[in-house]
Amino acid sequence: MNTFGRIFRLTTFGESHGPGIGGVIDGMPARIPVDMDFIQAQLDRRRPGQSALTTSRNEGDKVEILSGVFEGLTTGQPIGFVVRNESQRSGDYDNMRDLFRPSHADYTYFEKWGIRDHRGGGRSSARETISRVVGGAFAMLYLRQMGVTVEAYTSQVGSIRLEGDYKDYDLTKREANDVRCPDEETAKRMADLIMEVKREGDTIGGVISCVIKGLPVGLGEPAFGKLHAQLGAAMLSINAVKGFEYGRGFAGVEERGSEQNDVFVPSEGGVTTKTNNSGGIQGGISNGQDVYFRVAFKPVATLLREQPTVNIQGEETTLQARGRHDACVLPRAVPVVEAMAAMTIIDNILQNKIWQN
Determine whether 157 is exposed, middle or buried from the number of CB atoms within 10 Å of its CB (0-12, 13-18, 19+).
Answer: buried
- What single-letter DSSP state applies at residue 224? T
Q: Residue 80 in 3-state DSSP?
A: strand
Please give the domain boundaries of the chain with CATH numbers for all domains. 3-356 (3.60.150.10)
Q: Residue 252 in 3-state DSSP?
A: helix
Position 325 scores a pLDDT of 79
Angle formed at CA 352 by CA 347 and CA 357, multiple of 5 degrees: 130
Angle formed at CA 68 by CA 65 and CA 69, multiple of 5 degrees: 70
Q: Where on the phi/psi map is residue 120: left (φ > 0), alpha (ψ -120 to 50), or beta? A: left
What is the DSSP code string of 285-296? EE-SSPEEEEEE
Angle between helices 36-46 and 129-143 (to 10 degrees): 140
Omega before 105 cis (within 30°)?
Answer: no
Q: Residue 195 in 3-state DSSP?
A: helix
Stretches in the chain below the pLDDT threshold 50: none
Q: What separation in angstroms does the CA of 46 have from each of 32, 167, 217, 266, 279?
A: 24, 25, 31, 42, 27
CB 167 within 8 A of CB 292: no
Single out the residue of 219, 233, 145, 155 nearest to residue 187, CA to CA: 155
**Its pTM surpasses 0.75:** yes
Position 55 scores a pLDDT of 66
Cα–Cα dist 352/182, whole Å: 34
Position 241 scores a pLDDT of 98
CB 38 within 8 A of CB 141: yes
For residue 255, what are the β-bridge partners? none
CB 293 within 8 A of CB 241: no
Cα–Cα dist 318/28, whole Å: 48
Determine whether 182 is exposed, middle or buried from the number of CB atoms within 10 Å of its CB (0-12, 13-18, 19+).
Answer: buried
The residue type at 153 = Y
For 141, phi then psi, to 5°, come to -60, -35
At 78-130, the pLDDT tens digits run 999 999 988 666 566 677 788 999 998 999 999 999 998 887 788 898 999 99
Cα–Cα dist 35/54, whole Å: 27
Position 353 scores a pLDDT of 82
